[in-house]
Amino acid sequence: MNRCVLIFNRGVLLFLFVFILSRAISQTSDSLVVSIDRDFYTAEDTINLDVSLYKYTHLSNASTLHLWIEEIKTGRKWHYRYPLLNGMFSSSLIINNTIKNGSYAFNFQLQKSFFNLSGFVKNADYKDNSLNYVLITKNMQTIADAVYLNQDKSFSIGRLLFQDSAFIVFSKPKHNRNELVINISTPLDSAFTPSVTITKFITIGSVNDSSKKGDIPSTYSFNEDGQLYKTILPEVVIKAKAKKLIDDFEKDNVTGFFAGVDATVLDGLESNEISNSQDLFTYLTGKIAGLTQQIGENGIPQLKWRNHRTDIFINEIKSDEDLLLDINPSDVAMIRVYQPGIPIATSNSDGGAIAIYTKIGSYNKSNNTSYSFFINGYSGLESFWK
C-alpha cells in the first residue's frame, strides 16, 4: 500500500513529505499543461501557477518540475523546483519589490525523477552492513532511521523529501568516534535532459504600463548553461592585513540571530583543543563553567546550565544533544557559546545555547572525515521571488 504523509504549514512556508514510491515513473509521452493566472504584474503581486501532467500510468507516479525564470534584458536567472505528485501541482510566487520592471521568461522543465539520495562509504569495513542517519530540516523536523549497505558498500535513501534544505548526519550503529568517509549524490542536483520544456512570458511594470509587452522577443530560446550544477568564481587577489581564519569563517557562516548577539567563540580551525578532545560532551562541560552533563530519562546525555536545559544548534539548525555523539570533534570548525539569558531565535534562554559549526566548503580539508552534509530539497508551495 502506498503511504503519503504531509506535514505542511503555510504560515512558515515549510513542509515535509514522507512517502514510498511503488512504481517507476512512466516512460510514455507526457503532456504538460502550465497555467499562469495573468501576463502582467506589479511589484508585490502574487503569481499563481497551476501545472497538470497527463498520460501518467499510475497515481503513485512522481516527478520534479524545474522552473527557471530569466530576465529577458539581462539574462539573470532564478531557479525553483517543485514536487509533481499525482500529475498535479499548484504554487504561488510573491514578487519582491527588488524585482525590476521588464519582461521575464518562465521556463518549465519536467525531470522524470523524484528526490532520492545515493551514497558510497569509502572506508567501510567488511563487517559494516548498515548506517544510521539523522536528518534535520530547517523547521526542525527530525527523521532518524537506518539504511542498509549493499555488497559494494553503496546505499540509497528514497523515502525522504523536504522543502528548502536539510542537514543529514551518518554514523555507524556502534562507534566511539565518527570516522566515516562518504560520497553522496542526488538526481535533482545532477544534469538531466528534460522530457518536456514549456516557456511562458510575463511583464512586470507600473499600473500605467499594463498595456505594454515590454521587451519580449519574437524568438526566444532558453539556455540553462549548467548553472545549476557548477559555479565558477573568478580569481581574486586581495592585499590586506592578514586576519585569523576563524574571522573569515564567522563572516561566511554565522547568520541571523546567531551573529546579532555576543558569544564566546571557541576556535576549531587554528587550535587543536577541540579536535584532541574525547568527545564534544566532555569538551564542552570541561570548557564552559557552569555547564553540566546529566543523563536523561531515555538514557541520552543532556547538557544543562544553571539547572536549565541548554539548547544545541548544529550549523544553526536546532538539534538534540545525542547528535553530539555523532560529530567527530576534529570536524568542528567553531563553537559559539551564548550565556543564559541571551535568546537565540526561538530558543529558551534560561539554559543558554551552544552553536556548533562543522568544517564545510573550503574549510574542510581533504583529510577530514565526511559524514555530514547539507542537501537541497524542494521550493515551497508559497515562495518569494527576489
pLDDT of residue 208: 66
Where does residue 318 fall: left (phi above 0), alpha (psi -120 to 50 degrees), or beta otherwise? beta
pLDDT of residue 8: 38
CATH number of 245-363: 2.170.130.10
Measured between its terminal Cα atoms, the distance across the chain in Å is 41
Contacts of 57 (CB under 8 A, 6+ apart): 23, 26, 28
Q: Cα separation of 180 and 86, whole Å?
A: 38
32-114+191-231: CATH topology is: Immunoglobulin-like (2.60.40)
Contacts of 182 (CB under 8 A, 6+ apart): 119, 120, 121, 122, 170, 370, 371
pLDDT of residue 240: 40
Three-state secondary-structure class, residue 289:
coil
Q: Cα separation of 92 and 67, whole Å?
A: 12
Q: How far is CA 157 from CA 4, 185, 311, in A?
A: 16, 11, 29
Give the residue carrying C-alpha cell 555523539: 325
Q: What is the pTM of this model?
A: 0.66
pLDDT of residue 30: 56
For the chain, give the longest Cα–Cα distance. 71
pLDDT of residue 316: 86
Amino acid, single-letter form, for residue 48: N
Q: What is the CA radius of gyration of the chain?
A: 24
pLDDT of residue 227: 53
Residues of the chain with pLDDT below 70 are: 1-30, 55-61, 140, 159-160, 175-176, 207-215, 225-243, 345-348, 361-362, 364-369
pLDDT of residue 24: 32
- Domain assignments of the chain as residue spans, ordered by start: 32-114+191-231, 117-188, 245-363
Q: Which three cell numbers stand for residue 59?
A: 497515481
Q: Cα separation of 79 and 308, whole Å?
A: 43
Amino acid, single-letter form, for residue 209: D
Give the residue carrying C-alpha cell 548506517: 131
Contacts of 209 (CB under 8 A, 6+ apart): 101, 203
Query: Which pairing describes strands 311-314 and 317-319: parallel, antiparallel, or unpaired?
Result: antiparallel
Q: What is the DSSP string of 15-38?
A: EEEEE---SPPP-SPPEEEEEES-
Contacts of 370 (CB under 8 A, 6+ apart): 180, 181, 182, 183, 364
Q: Cα separation of 156 and 145, whole Å?
A: 13
pLDDT of residue 241: 42
Contacts of 281 (CB under 8 A, 6+ apart): 293, 301, 303, 321, 324, 325
Q: What is the dihedral of CA 84, 163, 372, 150, to 10 degrees?
A: -20
Per-residue exposure over 87-113, b if at least 16 CB sit within 10 Å of its own CB, e if not: bebebbbebeeebeebbbbbbbbbbbb
Where does residue 200 fall: left (phi above 0), alpha (psi -120 to 50 degrees), or beta otherwise? beta
Query: Phi and psi of 221, rounded to 5°?
Result: -135, 125
DSSP 350: G
pLDDT of residue 60: 42
Q: Cα separation of 78 and 102, whole Å?
A: 15
**Range list of H helices, the chain:** 245-253, 256-260, 280-287
8 A C-beta contact, residue 192 and residue 229: no
